[in-house]
Amino acid sequence: MLIAGNWKMFKGVGEAGEFCRALREADLGTVDVVVCPPYVSLAAAVQALSMTEIGVAAQNVHWADDGAFTGEISAPMLRELGVYGTIVGHSERRQFFGETDDTVVKRILAAMEHGLHVIACVGETASEREAGDTESVIRRQVGAIAEGVADTDDLVIAYEPVWAIGTGKTATPEIAQEAHALVKSILDVPVLYGGSVKPDNAAELAAQPDVDGALVGGASLDVKSFATICREASHS
Ligand code: PGA
């Protein structure tokens, strides 16, 4: 069971260090734990969490090792910082920054080539679900990854229905289970659930047979709530 905290564009260096020092002291149960700070706070998080089992991952990575790509960060740069992995293809990247199934695959391949673990995100929007397209969207997004990535040892998929992200509308455990089973029928890797995971719904989501953890946004920004989610998920 893996619980990953996606901080999005929250917590600069000072706050990140403070959070990680508090996290070190918190009871996180028995799950594997990863935090994903913004780029500028990665070094502070790596430093504060060295000598612990808690991993630090980035929120994105470019596919080239270096080059004229203003504003981008490469896998070797992340490795040099001691970062363990990266999120790829988050729906906010897909919605607001032009991420496509093709660029998701390119990023995954580059990350893995340099030894980074990857959390690749998929999930349908509200209108896609309403139109009955959930299955075809998941098949397309996961299918692109399955086709493009041969070695999936260091790959985890996060199923994040876009309508559940930051909305307080969590998928029911049944909806999550159904989607996770579909993902696994296409690509046999662990699948995290993401979208309004909170201390009070973490246990029932984690109890589903094909839910292997959670990618937590808003509720990962507070040590107490993140630690509670980790402990709740530890019970299942
Ligand atoms: P949320 O975000 O938990 O705030 O809904 C999840 C995510 O976007 O990874």
**pLDDT tens digit sequence for 178-193:** 999 999 999 999 999 9
Instruction: State the SS3 of 30-61.
Output: CCEEEEECCHHHHHHHHHHHCCCCCEEEECCC
pLDDT at 197: 97
Q: How far is the CA of 55 from the centre of ligand 1 (A)?
A: 18
- Cα distances from 197 to residues 213, 214, 218, in angstroms, run 10, 7, 8
88 CA distance to ligand 1 middle (Å): 14
Does pLDDT of 235 surpass 90?
Answer: no
- Classify 124 as helix, strand or coil: coil
Residue 90 annotated in active site: yes
C-beta 197 within 6 A of ligand 1: yes
Q: Is 85 exposed, middle or buried (0-12, 13-18, 19+ CB in 10 A)?
A: buried
Distance 197 CA to ligand 1 centre (A): 7
194 ligand 1 Cβ < 6 A: yes
Pick the atom of ligand 1 nearest to 121's CA.
9
Q: How far is the CA of 195 from the centre of ligand 1 (A)?
A: 5
Q: Is 228 in the pocket of ligand 1 (CB under 6 A)?
A: no
pLDDT at 236: 80
Confidence of residue 21 (pLDDT cuts 50, 70, 90): very high
Among protein residues, the one whose CA lies closest to atom 6 of ligand 1: 217
Please state the φ and ψ torsions of residue 175, each to the nearest 5 degrees.
-60, -45
Quote the pTM value.
Answer: 0.97
Interval between CA 67 and ligand 1 midpoint (Å): 31
- The pLDDT assigned to 59 comes to 98
Of the listed ranges 7-16, 164-173, 208-217, the one predicted with least confidence: 164-173
Choose which residue among 119, 216, 228 to substitute to test ligand 1 binding: the one with the highest number of ligand atoms within 8 A of its C-beta: 216
Q: Residue 129 is encoded by which pair of tokens?
A: 């679900």
pLDDT one-digit tens code per residue, 199-226: 999 999 999 999 999 999 999 999 999 9
Q: Region 38-67: what's the mean pLDDT?
A: 98
pLDDT of residue 15: 98
Strand spans (E) along 89-217 = 117-122, 155-159, 191-194, 213-216
Percent over 70 (pLDDT), the chain: 100
Closest CA to 112 of 138, 140, 148: 148
Active-site pick, 124, 128, 160, 232: 160
CB 7 within 8 A of CB 220: yes
Over 90: is that where the pLDDT of 148 sits? yes
The answer, yes or no, to whether any atom of ligand 1 lies below 6 A from the CB of 199, is no
**128 noted as active-site residue:** no
Q: Is 169 close to ligand 1, i.e. is its CB under 6 Å away?
A: no
